[in-house]
Structure 1
């Protein structure tokens, strides 16, 4: 039985890998041919894994730092819900944004399915941060959308605080009830924004208090839990409010003192 389970798991992994490659190639081709992408498609090398991402320079080329975005299941590196407004809007506000294309997930993929790919996602995130550093951008922030919020949180603890200076979770259903996540909170040692829509999904809203309690128990300073008034889970029609909330928080918690006060 154990052998059969291993065969099934291996076969599923091959199917997912093939689907990821096909979906990524199709997206990359569409992005490269788009006249309104508002960014440059670049390649990231994470060990043997090659990923694509969309980089957008600051409007005035005077960067406040890097912002790496990792999307959630069922979306992509240029999704019109949440990702694209932040990718473009934060670049216009002075940040180098880099939105990573993550492994594909089926429409019926569960939270467990997505988090089973966490090692690959974390490797791509690390490659993105290294790519920015190679271009002189030493201070970065990571924004994790949906299920990727927890992955962003855990990954941050593997980086020095002066390199990855803050973490943002948008629409996260996290409960922070596992030993791994509680340890990550205890080790985070940098500001954390827990942003959600006032009319978000039930799993996001139901776990708000549990997340706040876990953060308090971890004695994490710099935690902000904030709602975007009137918004639904995709922030449709309220992109500006989403961007304004993230931009203001980053200005307060992630901009270097000399950049904030030139």
Structure 2
């Protein structure tokens, strides 16, 4: 009985990891009313309203949609990688939906995000539904940094997802790449973070071991983790691969 009681006390003493919804609200308050491209869209997820940005293509005859996932501690209109992708890809016939992912307090180590990965799937599924309600037929997923780890986790654990193609930008975690059976573009910069560069071979090996014939790894010369000054190349690589 004592052992059981101690175990229960330990369980209740551990913090329950969950997204910082107050921080998410602050991001929304700072962004929603000042958008130049796109419109705010609230997704209903497990009793919470999750902020997203919907940007329509001028022309979208193929009814294609792109879900965009940001990196650690960021938001759906992050100026690096996320905003360029969600805005510029509309010129190539894609409606884009950039979704707020779970966030933790500032300064939290990336490894501490793992417990809240369980919150990712409902948000992506809500995004899929929103796109489908707007008549979208084909849906792809484009992610950056921690968002790529979250997206890999989602795809690995949801093999029947309607997502047709997956672009992972600046992915460092190779552990679940072998469980991704979708066409996957693994895109990174030659000057990327050490955590990304150190797992290049491991990611490729995992995909090859899983016999994913539609996995492709592309390095952008001179690009850092946030593709500063390389947005045009970033968009070109994504667009070329999705054609």
Does TM, scored on the shorter chain, surpass 0.5? yes
Partner of 1:242: 234
Partner of 2:29: 29
Comparing 200-209 and 1-10, the one that deviates more:
1-10
Whether the 8 Å CA contact 2:178–2:209 is kept in 1: the answer is: no
Change (3 A) 1:250 1:209: same
| SS of equivalent to 1:164 | coil
Segments of structure 2 that go 5 or more residues without pairing to the other structure are 1-5
Segments of structure 1 that go 5 or more residues without pairing to the other structure are 252-262
Shift in Å, 1:81: 0.9
Change (3 A) 1:35 1:70: closer
Partner of 1:168: 167
Q: In the alignment, is residue 211 of structure 1 matched against residue 203 of structure 2?
A: yes
1:222-241 C-alpha deviation (Å, 9 max, x unpaired): 11100111111111111111
- Size of the alignment, in residue pairs? 237
Whether the 8 Å CA contact 1:66–1:139 is kept in 2: the answer is: yes
Shift in Å, 1:249: 0.8
CA RMSD, Structure 1 to Structure 2 (Å): 2.0
Structure 1 runs of 4+ with >3 Å offset: 1-5, 61-64
Q: In the alignment, is residue 184 of structure 1 matched against residue 179 of structure 2?
A: yes
Partner of 1:7: 12
The normalised TM-score by structure 2 is: 0.89
Whether the 8 Å CA contact 1:63–1:96 is kept in 2: the answer is: no
Change (3 A) 1:70 1:35: closer
Shift in Å, 1:127: 0.7
1:130-155 C-alpha deviation (Å, 9 max, x unpaired): 11112211210111211222332232
